[in-house]
């Protein structure tokens, strides 16, 4: 089984924020794969679908971003998923808006949701897909910027990034991480 987890914060007040791009990718995949209604269990909303003969669980943690590790561990342990078959999707301030980057492992780069996962798992060796959101202006705090709704001028950019991220996830499932990295890592 593959476990695809999009990080974000539950609640309508966060739904359109940059910090919820992981949630949005999982939502897009759920629509694309015509999944049923999600189940609320293991600190998450999730649905299991079949894709090209493989079982895939699409999940959105309900723990809020800074405690994402709790949901990830629950989902991994209760579904016997190997770390190699886990993919964490999240926003990244260090990448230009809309740019994608897949990695096999790495640090959190200050992303508290990813740091929670690293701390809870006790390892940073798990696949991840980062979606660039760029840096805020010098007058805006990072925390405020990530929680702000996407600006009208950015809607098309992020809609395209969500679509490409969905494609990257499906290639990760079909062809493996290295193939997905070679296809979607821009300028690396």
Residue 188 has pLDDT above 90, yes or no: no
Strand, coil or helix: 4: strand
Q: What is the pLDDT, as a whole number, of residue 156?
A: 97
Q: What is the pLDDT, as a whole number, of residue 187?
A: 57
Residues with a catalytic annotation lie at: 19
The range of the structural domain enclosing residue 39 comes to 2-184
Residue 152 is given by DSSP the state G
Structural domains in the chain (count): 1
Q: What is the pLDDT, as a whole number, of residue 171?
A: 98
Backbone torsions φ then ψ of 134, nearest 5 degrees = 70, 175
% the chain with pLDDT above 70: 98
Nearest CA to 70 out of 4, 126, 7 is that of: 7
Domain containing residue 13: CATH number: 3.40.50.1470
Question: By the 8 A CB rule, do 182 and 100 touch?
Answer: no
The rounded Cα 134 to chain-centroid distance in angstroms is: 16
> What confidence tens digit (pLDDT) does each residue in 63-101 have?
999 999 999 999 999 999 999 999 999 999 999 999 999
Average pLDDT of the chain, as a whole number: 96
């Amino acid at each position: 089984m593959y476990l695809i987890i999009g990080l974000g914060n539950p609640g309508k007040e966060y739904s359109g924020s940059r910090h919820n791009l992981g949630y949005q990718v999982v939502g897009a995949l759920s629509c694309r794969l015509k999944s049923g209604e999600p189940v609320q269990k293991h600190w998450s909303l999730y649905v299991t679908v079949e894709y090209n003969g493989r079982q895939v669980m699409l999940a959105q943690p309900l723990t809020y971003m800074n405690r994402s590790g709790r949901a990830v561990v629950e989902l991994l342990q209760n579904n016997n998923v190997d770390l190699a078959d886990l993919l964490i999707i999240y926003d990244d301030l260090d990448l230009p808006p809309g740019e994608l980057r897949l990695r096999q492992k790495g640090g959190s780069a200050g992303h508290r949701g990813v740091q929670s996962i690293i701390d809870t798992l006790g390892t940073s060796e798990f696949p991840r897909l980062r979606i660039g959101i760029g840096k805020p202006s010098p007058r805006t705090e990072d925390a405020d910027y990530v929680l702000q709704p996407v600006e009208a001028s950015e809607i098309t950019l992020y809609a395209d990034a969500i679509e490409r991220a969905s494609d990257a996830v499906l290639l990760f499932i079909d062809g493996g991480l290295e193939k997905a990295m070679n296809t979607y890592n821009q300028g690396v």
